[in-house]
Amino acid sequence: MAATAAVAPSGVKAMVINLGPQHPSTHGVLRVRLELEGEQVRACEPIIGYLHTGIEKTFEDLFYQQAIVLTDRIDYVSPLNNNLCYVLAVERLLGVEVPKRCQYIRVIFAELSRIASHLVWLGTSAMDMGAMSPFFYCMQQRELLLDLNEMAAGTRMNPSYLRVGGLMADLPPGFEQKARAFLDGFPHWLETYRGLLDRNPIWQERLVGTARMTLDQALDYGWTGPLLRACGLGRDLRKTNPYSSYEDFEFDVPTETEGDVYARYKVRLREMEESLRIVRQALDRLPQGPWHVDDRRVYPPDKLEIRQSMEALIYHFKLFSEGFMVPPGEVYAAVEGPKGELGCFVVGDGSARPARVHVRGPSFYNLQALPLCVQGGLLADVVAAIGSIDIVLGEVDR
Amino acid sequence: MTELLAALREAFPDVACSVALGQAELTVPRERIRDVARELRARGFRLLLDITAVDRMGERPRFEVVYHLYHLELSDWLRLKVRVDSERPELPSVTGIFPAANWPERECYDMFGIRFTGHPDLRRILMPDDWEGHPLRKDYPLPGLRPLPPLVHPQPEGG
């Protein structure tokens, strides 16, 4: 932290400090410029852009199918939700509908990565508050989820498992058992997290009443997801605008009314329970049958077929050398990401590359309201507030 | 939603209204964007989700500024579009109506060079303050306008 002294208009000496960009509690490379009067925050300005990698520009240079790898790197803590939102947009432009089995598998992965994302949030924000053990217990469970990613996609962190028109591959044998083993074991760990934190006096002292936002303020600043639900509005796109067969599953949308950091904590923990419920239902009712569209303009033929049929080989070659054409038009597709409404605005111009892709990263909008949360509070509460907003800088800066 | 669109058509005769791929869209003249935004907010579009722009190089007007709003009761999105030309890429800011517009308008300015008049703090947001050009414009090359300066490792003080 670099500190400089400035004289405030009131004549009181204010101290200006930079929290970040390299600081463990900023969860990445966020820089927050704070103006302090003693320990009190008088002004706060988040300064972003340190992780800007030009993803939206790069999109315009790649085929639609190739660009999926970019979406992983937007919110790298829950990559499969990003995949989903992008492929939904492109499929809508193409007018393609994927089979039920594929939709269910997408739901399974979207929910598992929601849990994975919430585990990172819980572990790191507990560590910010000085609690070391939850971090290890969270990461240990997250490892199991990454194992599942690895089983299905071969990669742990940036799986790029989804494809326009389907998936990279069907679920591998043994996946279901392993996923069920996680589902059976995880409730015990949720109880452990609760046991460690829920009534922990330090946790409560730091969180209850901290960084409070009213529902009106939250709506004004475009808050979505768990943050909005902690303010009392149960808006969840999985219920209000279901996609990928979410209407088939039974689950509740947890809400709280206090709008403080503790309410956000409670909402997210209950969301993990609901995600478990959804994954269990999806596994129980997983339909048999095709897991990608039978449309060779979009999805390549099976590898075995390529070895035997000239025509299949040609389709495969064309698809990977010149991509597929997407009709001109524009579409906004949104999913309920772990951090809020994750939207993808895709403009097609009739060629094989998108004319423009814009990603509405929920963290970008959520972070914008940080000054409102922390003004007048204590310096230490800034750390709690940043943790509770659950930012991923890859998504803020893109 | 259909009824609401019909009502909007009546309220704003100068606004073009269309539905494509199940998504409603209004094309608003530049100087009317504030009135339309205020009216839409009063009619229940409480959430401003996103503001971005599209560079349609070769067309006139060149830029499209795109807003996404959400109606909480009807649970549906609405897309607003304002077209601005490249000679005077400028339009009124809606930060006074939707505080959420602050950062995304800055992002549009940063990436496309579109100016939002009445914005309280229109600075670059993602790129460094002294950056040249606006990266998401179509005439901005992918590798950048000039090569990156060589990396210099500063010597430690007194060493």
pLDDT tens across A250-308, in order? 999 999 988 899 999 999 999 999 999 999 999 999 999 898 888 888 888 888 888 89
| Amino acid letter, residue B121 | D
Which among A332, A347, A365 has the least Cβ separation from residue B54?
A347
Residue B157, in any domain of the structure: no
A217: closest CA among B74, B72, B46, B33? B46
For chain A, say whether B99 makes contact (Cβ under 8 Å).
yes
Q: Is A52 close to B127, i.e. CB distance below 8 A?
A: yes
Residue B79 contacts residue B24 (beta carbons within 8 Å): yes
Does residue A124 sit in helix, strand or coil? Answer: helix
Question: Model confidence at A7, in pLDDT bands (50, 70, 90)?
Answer: low
Which residues make up the CATH 1.10.645.10 domain(s) of chain A? 55-397
Domain limits at B43? Answer: 2-117
| A175 touches A112 (CB < 8 A) | no
Examine residue B149 and state whether it is found in any structural domain, yes or no.
Answer: no
Contacts of B76 in chain A (CB under 8 A): 241
- Evaluate whether residue B50 is within a structural domain: yes
Contact A352, A63 (CB under 8 A): yes
Question: DSSP alpha helices (H): ranges in A35-132?
Answer: 55-59, 68-72, 79-94, 100-128
Length of chain B, in residues: 159
Fold observed for domain A55-397: Cytochrome-c3 Hydrogenase; chain B (1.10.645)
Q: How far is B133 from chain A (nearest CA, A)?
A: 14
Q: Is residue B35 part of a domain?
A: yes
Kindly report, residue by residue over A131-158, the tens digit of the pLDDT.
888 999 999 999 999 999 999 998 888 8
The reply to whether B132 falls in a domain is: no
pLDDT score at A198 = 87
User: Mean pLDDT in chain B?
Assistant: 87
Treating both helix axes as pointing N-terminal to C-terminal, what angle do A175-197 and A261-284 enclose, rounded to 10 degrees?
Answer: 160
Q: How far is A237 from chain B, CA to nearest CA, in Å?
A: 9
% of residues, chain A, pLDDT over 90: 47
Q: Per-residue pLDDT tens for A315-367?
A: 889 888 988 889 998 999 999 999 999 999 999 988 899 999 999 989 999 99
A299-308 contacts, C-beta under 8 A, 24 or more apart? A299/A163, A299/A164, A299/A165, A299/A166
CB A173 within 8 A of CB A152: no
CATH code, domain with B55: 3.30.460.80
Read off the pTM: 0.89
Residue B31: pLDDT band (50, 70, 90) is confident
Q: Which of A230, A216, A278, A231 is nearest to A250 (CA)?
A: A278
**Partners of residue A68 on adjacent β-strands:** none
